[in-house]
Structure 1
Amino acid sequence: MSLPTKPQPTSRRREQQRAVETRLTILKAALPEFADKGFDAASLRTIAERTGLQHPLITYHYRTKEILWKAVAEHVFNLIVELWDEGVPADTKMAPIERVREEYKAFFKVTLDFPDLHHFILRESHSGNPRMAWLAENLLKPLMSRLLPQIEAAQASGDLPPGDPVLLHYMLIGMTTVLSSLGADMSATSGRSPENPAVVANYWALLETVIFNKASGHRGQ
């Protein structure tokens, strides 16, 4: 009687890669589902329909809806951190204002790649919501703790206006999410689509002029 053959390393790697791709497919489908309907109304079966996968495969990778919701949030915020680590490494010699610019530019890019992120968070932004508390503690506060020292240093050097750095942070968050949060409004009223690369480039150039170039003393340049 022959013994069963063990899976070969190449076969295991293919299985692992398929699992990674399946989880990514699920996360990408879950983000708009949660953004459109909110956590309570979102359905794992609808997410399965969005992906073309069987419902049991969704629950195999993400046992509950709450686990999936948290995984979606972690996935997007991890991408922001990865962009930061690439563009603004810990040992960088960049001036604080340049670090601030690159870090919010990375956030801007991720909001364009994941336009549902704004509404995903907004759906949970009400008092007493445990998911908002989890999001704040695990993702939003660590993100802000990295940004605030750079904002304060840029303020100290006169490259950003004085004032509460937390409020300045949220002002910059608001400005960098406009194309995703108000994209439909913009398209309907002006025909300017946030999916148009020229609109994106123009918007970022305006943001740099208003916040970074003017604050850095480059008026008129």
Structure 2
Amino acid sequence: MPNLTVQPEEAYVAVIDKLKELVDPVNSTKDPAAIHVRAAALTGRLKSLSRAANSATRHTKNLTAAARHDMDQSHLGLQNLLYEKRHLEREIEKCRQFASVYQDIPLYTLEEFKLLAPPEARSDDVLSDEHQLLLNRLSFEFVERQRLDKMKKDLMQQKEELLKESKAKLNTMDSIKSQIETLVKVAADVQKKVDELALSIPIPAVDAEAPG
């Protein structure tokens, strides 16, 4: 952009005033060629000032647009930060209100954990770290529940097998009982027939007096 030694408005006014002087009737007696040359020089100066003013205007507009863009970007960045802040505040509040399921799990007491857990799970470093201690207690509780669940399933399986065995024995006993009842009934029928047969056989008469 051209570097003007005076303010653009003052330069414009000065050039226009000089052009007015050239057309003043007082200068009508002067050399027309000299006046023409002077007018051409002033006109060129006026055009130069106009170009400089236009260039300065464009430069100012560019600076203004750049400043507005920076301001818009800063405002947008601020809005994003405020949104992120509100989002984080909501997430923090959710975390504060969150009730973890482990809080409702009945765990082994700390003394039981110290007695039953593996040594590496209850070392001095672990016992001095509240967070790690809780993790190890939860892990131990999980392993123990798996072990107890397996034991329960094994016992249930044994129970089922014993029930099946008992049922089989009951079925066998019922079968034997039925067979015994059948045998008793058959024996009773046979005895009845034997008794009936015995009654139907005549008994020989016995003499009252013995031969002399």
Please classify the TM superposition score into its range, dividing by the shorter chain length.
under 0.3
Ranked by relative contact order (alpha carbons within 8 Å, sequence separation 6 or more), the top structure is 1
Between Structure 1 and Structure 2, whose CA radius of gyration is higher?
A: 2
Tell me the TM-score normalized by structure 2.
0.18
Q: Return the structure number with greater helix share.
A: 2
